[in-house]
Structure 1
Amino acid sequence: MLARQRQELILDSVRATGGVRVSELVDRLGVSDMTVRRDIDELARRGLVTRVHGGATAAGSSVEEPGFAVKSALHTAAKQAIAEAAAALVEPGASVALSAGTTTHAVASVLLGIPGLTVVTNSLRVAEVLHAAPRPDLTVVLTGGERTPSDALVGPVAVAALRGLHVDWLLMGVHGMDVDAGFTSPNLAEAETNRALLTSARQVAVVADNSKWGVVGLSTIATLDEADVVVSDDGLDPEARQAIEQSCGRLVLAA
């Protein structure tokens, strides 16, 4: 297969699903890891895809969002470490809100080890994790709303459900974080719902791996200084660390 043919197939896959992994392409195309990466580099140079760690996503990611399955396959080790560090902030008996996303999905699994929690979420995936291990000491509140590609429930119904709620912690995943744009989402309705989650919380922890730094989505959820804690991984670059520490005051880096 010629390079142009491979690149057309890669581009078709990205457009169909929002993103692809290098490992998947190696198996599908029958070529080496290095060849796939060169093809992705060429597509990225032409502005047709955005290269990310372990694969590629659709170009113009500020308004486009890969599906849950694609995102869950990226940065898995970092997300697990972040999940464990974020869950350590939560005390037994606390009330916790979890936004949608693959990192908060990982957090939900770790929270199962903490007794007496009440969890509020607008994420179908998070609710599935929590309901899979039913316990009498775990209360799960799922908002209604319209479903997004990241399996979030958003819109007026979700926002209305969150009015009047008060939780100890919001653990919030984001599409991007930037010194000027703050914490962002590519989805206007999801950004609005996340702002409602933020209003309900006494303390806010943003959970985001290092690849989210410098990414700016369509809509700002909150400025950096509106987070009490940012939980990221040790791959976060020094400039980002300094900006976050100066803005929100506390940065936790999971190893």
Structure 2
Amino acid sequence: MSQGSSKLERLDAIRGHLYTHGPSTIQALADAAGASLATIRRDLQILEEQGIIDRAHGGARIAEGSSVEVAFSAREGRNLAAKRALAAAAYEKLTPHATIFLDAGTTVRQLARLLRINPMPMTVFTNGLLVAQELLDVPKLRVVVIGGQLRNENASLVGPEAEAMLERLWFDQLFLGVSAIGPDATIYSVDSAEASLNARMLKRAEKRFIVTDSSKFGVMSTYAVAALAPSISIMTDANLSSDWQRQLHDIGMPLTLVNVPAGAS
């Protein structure tokens, strides 16, 4: 980026760098935006006032918002670079003015975080309280949280009430994270209510995207959600084994493999 880049271009470059690479020094941000240290400091002040970043001595990071329960935080930190790369690829699939559903998983929450820092006009439904929190007071977005019983493990809403609400809705796009994709080419969940709700989600969307890192493939869990099918698109990282790539090709599933940037955290 040239030294004459506009403020909007610099702010986009800063947000993109922090999202992809995690906490960064002011020098790294200056290099990414092609601007002086003094200019970057002024830009960071703007982003901090907007609630988009947190500043620390000598650097900055994307704002984390409120604390979340420990188990969810621990899962969210696993394979974080892959989750961020997948979220960035999923963001490119978003259609302005669409109605979409974002589930409560950790990878999809990264997509919500990216939508928060780069919003576009659309309606977002979710069963995830933390996803909704990411999108609180974001311009251009209309956010709807479906009702149901609170599942503490990932701050999601599940159960008959949530499923009944889904039956009255139709979505242009669904972005769904998964707990496991078994050797039998079936999506699984660790929770029966979550499995039932996820199955209903898949039936209520025109375009269905499974967004998950490659560590979830070949793993079994307790409750079946749905069999993999050509009507479902898979987005995962490029570490997916060649055997799984062939299996998905044989099923006829659209597959997007995403490279994880070296050094990302």
TM over 0.5: yes
Distance 1:227 1:208, change over 3 A: farther
Shift of residue 180 of structure 1? 1.0
C-alpha contact (below 8 Å) 2:180/2:220 kept by paired residues: yes
2:217 maps to what in 1? 213
For residues 174-193 of structure 1, what are the structure 2 equivalents within 5 Å?
A: 174-193=178-197
Shift of residue 127 of structure 1? 0.5
1:130 maps to what in 2? 135
CA–CA distance in structure 2, aligned partners of residues 67 and 186 of structure 1 = 14
User: What are the ranges of 5 or more consecutive residues in structure 1 without an aligned counterpart?
Assistant: 1-65
Counterpart of 1:119 (choices 124, 128, 131) is: 124
Shift of residue 222 of structure 1? 1.3
TM-score with structure 1 setting the length: 0.70
Instruction: Indicate the RMSD between aligned Cα atoms, in angstroms.
Output: 1.5
Amino acid at match of 2:178: V
Cα deviations across residues 104-158 of structure 1 (Å, max 9, x unaligned)? 1001122332421111110111100011x432x2111101112221221100111
Q: Kindly indicate whether residue 199 of structure 2 is the aligned counterpart of residue 195 of structure 1.
A: yes
Shift of residue 179 of structure 1? 4.0
Q: Secondary structure at the match of 2:162?
A: helix
Q: Kindly indicate whether residue 73 of structure 2 is the aligned counterpart of residue 69 of structure 1.
A: yes
User: What are the ranges of 5 or more consecutive residues in structure 2 without an aligned counterpart?
Assistant: 1-69, 260-265
Counterpart of 2:235 (choices 228, 231, 237) is: 231
CA–CA distance in structure 1, aligned partners of residues 177 and 217 of structure 2 = 13
C-alpha contact (below 8 Å) 1:229/1:248 kept by paired residues: no
Shift of residue 240 of structure 1? 1.1
C-alpha contact (below 8 Å) 2:233/2:253 kept by paired residues: yes
CA–CA distance in structure 2, aligned partners of residues 250 and 81 of structure 1 = 18
1:140 maps to what in 2? 143
For residues 1-255 of structure 1, what are the structure 2 equivalents within 5 Å?
A: 67-112=71-116, 113-131=118-136, 133-135=137-139, 137-148=140-151, 149-225=153-229, 227-255=231-259
C-alpha contact (below 8 Å) 2:230/2:254 kept by paired residues: no
Amino acid at match of 2:223: S
TM-score with structure 2 setting the length: 0.68
Identity in percent:
34
Q: Secondary structure at the match of 2:104?
A: coil
CA–CA distance in structure 1, aligned partners of residues 73 and 252 of structure 2 = 31
Cα deviations across residues 84-103 of structure 1 (Å, max 9, x unaligned)? 11111111111110111100
Moved over 3 A (4+): none
C-alpha contact (below 8 Å) 1:181/1:216 kept by paired residues: no
CA–CA distance in structure 1, aligned partners of residues 193 and 252 of structure 2 = 25
Distance 1:229 1:77, change over 3 A: same
Distance 1:87 1:227, change over 3 A: farther
Shift of residue 178 of structure 1? 2.3
CA–CA distance in structure 1, aligned partners of residues 124 and 251 of structure 2 = 28
Amino acid at match of 2:149: E
Distance 1:218 1:227, change over 3 A: farther
CA–CA distance in structure 2, aligned partners of residues 82 and 174 of structure 1 = 13
Q: Secondary structure at the match of 1:225?
A: coil
C-alpha contact (below 8 Å) 1:179/1:224 kept by paired residues: no
C-alpha contact (below 8 Å) 1:144/1:158 kept by paired residues: yes
